[in-house]
Amino acid sequence: MSHPVSADRSGFENQLEQNLKRLIVAGQGVLLAVSGGRDSMALLHGMARLRGILKIPQIIVAHLDHGLRGDAGRHDAELVRSVCKSLDVPIVIAECGAGQLARASRGSLEEAARIARYEFLQTTAKQHGTPLVVTAHHAADQAETVLHNILRGTGLRGLRGIPERRRLADNVELIRPMLTIKYDTITEYIRQHTIAYAADATNDDNGFTRNRIRHELLPQLQSEFNAQVPDALLRLAAQTQELLQSLDAIAESLLAEAVLEQTPEHCRLDVRRLTEHPEPIVRHTLTVLWIQQSWSRKDMSREHWNRLASMLFDPPPASIDLPGSIRAEIRGNLLALERT
């Protein structure tokens, strides 16, 4: 069933349409991650109204009940199911057992829930042949993420905040077309179209760091230092993204010249090719190599990256052991990287 879009479309739909066109969604099937919350329900309604204009051949909704909120979680699932039926959008619902999630959390239930959610989205997208997964992260989420990363200590990739797109698997890409859309714009769209959504009580629990940033730190910064702090953080993220795109292009070009042998478990690189460039560029190039290899960068500190890059420019040490069971060794004019 097609849902016509009126001529006086909201600011939300206009922005969503432009962002989707820029992200080249037209003509591709999409999997929408819909929790039932305010933002994802706005995304669902907006996508349903725009699918004709964008010629989207298939929209499927994916909803994961983490099993942490009992009846409230089941109510969310039923709400999403009911709205999908009214919009003629197929839905896939799965449940992750709370016990299973707690065992996987290793002290961070938030991180375990995030990992479970993206694994579910990736698997579901592959099963249904939808090349794009769409989430409802918006401008306020971006500002909070950048500030959170600054507080934890971060490099350029952290200052970029939430990437607008990233690859989940070989044939599946994640996009976030609402990252530039402000909270108030979403709120007005919800009000204008009387969109039902579920309120998640955990969003008000200041036991979670993200919620303390949202409810306490950002309001304090706005009231006592700069009312435009969120906008400043968004500009910082956008500028950093532009810089990273340029640096990544340089790094990929350098790797194309320097990599002599490459498998999922090891790499051989020409040291002379690498050291023709300044050490900061080489260090960034090595982070891009880690991404290409799908090697974990989670425990790689700045000190680790510095030590690795320094090996190429200063003789000793001949080898070092790095997080993720990676061993780096200089062999003449070769840098050998092995995952053991």
Q: Are 101 and 116 in contact (CB under 8 A)?
A: yes
Q: 215: which DSSP letter?
A: I
The answer, yes or no, to whether residue 107 has pLDDT greater than 60, is no
Residue 227's SS3 state is coil
- CATH code, domain carrying 206: 3.40.50.620
Q: Which residue, 222, 257, 283, sits at the end of a domain?
A: 222
Same domain, 104 and 198: yes
* For the chain, percent of residues with pLDDT exceeding 70: 91
Number of domains in the chain: 2
132-150 pLDDT tens trace: 999 999 999 999 999 999 9
34-84 pLDDT tens trace: 999 999 999 999 999 999 999 999 999 999 987 666 788 789 999 999 999
In a domain, 241, yes or no: no
The answer, yes or no, to whether residue 152 has pLDDT greater than 70, is yes
Residue 92 belongs to what domain range?
11-222
pLDDT score of 7:
42
pLDDT score of 57:
93
The answer, yes or no, to whether residue 8 has pLDDT greater than 50, is no
Q: What are phi and psi of 53, to 5 degrees?
A: -65, -40
Q: Which of 109, 225, 183 is nearest to 217 (CA)?
A: 225
More confident residue, 303 or 8: 303
pLDDT score of 68:
63
- CATH code, domain carrying 270: 3.30.465.60
Q: Are 134 and 43 in contact (CB under 8 A)?
A: yes
Q: 134: which DSSP letter?
A: E
Q: Which two tokens stand for residue 92?
A: 């896939």
Q: Which two tokens stand for residue 75?
A: 């109510």
Q: Which two tokens stand for residue 252?
A: 């990929």
Q: Which two tokens stand for residue 251?
A: 């790094």
pLDDT score of 103:
53
Same domain, 206 and 317: no
pLDDT score of 298:
83
pLDDT score of 1:
45
Q: Are 264 and 176 in contact (CB under 8 A)?
A: no
The answer, yes or no, to whether residue 288 has pLDDT greater than 60, is yes
Vertex 24 angle, CA 20 and 27, to 5°: 95
CA–CA distance, 26 with 17 (Å, rounded to integer): 10
The answer, yes or no, to whether residue 108 has pLDDT greater than 70, is no
CA–CA distance, 119 with 293 (Å, rounded to integer): 19
pLDDT score of 306:
93
Same domain, 87 and 141: yes
Question: Number of helices (H) and strands (E), helices first, in the chain?
Answer: 14, 11
Tell me the angle at which helices 229-258 and 139-152 cross, rounded to the nearest 10 degrees. 70
CA–CA distance, 198 with 83 (Å, rounded to integer): 12
Same domain, 49 and 175: yes
For residue 30, CA distances in Å to 20, 293, 294 come to 11, 27, 25
pLDDT score of 72:
81
179-233 pLDDT tens trace: 999 999 999 999 999 999 998 776 777 777 888 999 999 999 999 999 999 999 9
Same domain, 69 and 149: yes
In a domain, 231, yes or no: no
153-171 pLDDT tens trace: 888 999 999 999 998 888 8
Same domain, 175 and 126: yes
More confident residue, 152 or 273: 273
pTM above 0.75, yes or no: yes
**CA 314 distance to own-chain centroid:** 36
To the nearest whole number, what is the mean pLDDT of the chain? 90
CA–CA distance, 19 with 328 (Å, rounded to integer): 42
Give 331: exposed, middle or buried? Use CB within 10 Å, 0-12, 13-18, 19+: exposed
More confident residue, 245 or 340: 245
Same domain, 93 and 140: yes
Q: Which two tokens stand for residue 161?
A: 């905040």
In a domain, 232, yes or no: no
Instruction: Name the pLDDT band for 4 (thresholds 50, 70, 90).
Output: very low
Q: What is the 3-class SS of 51-83, one letter each residue?
A: CCCCCCCCEEEEEEECCCCCHHHHHHHHHHHHH
Q: Are 160 and 57 in contact (CB under 8 A)?
A: no
Q: 236: which DSSP letter?
A: H
The answer, yes or no, to whether residue 6 has pLDDT greater than 50, is no
Same domain, 265 and 216: no
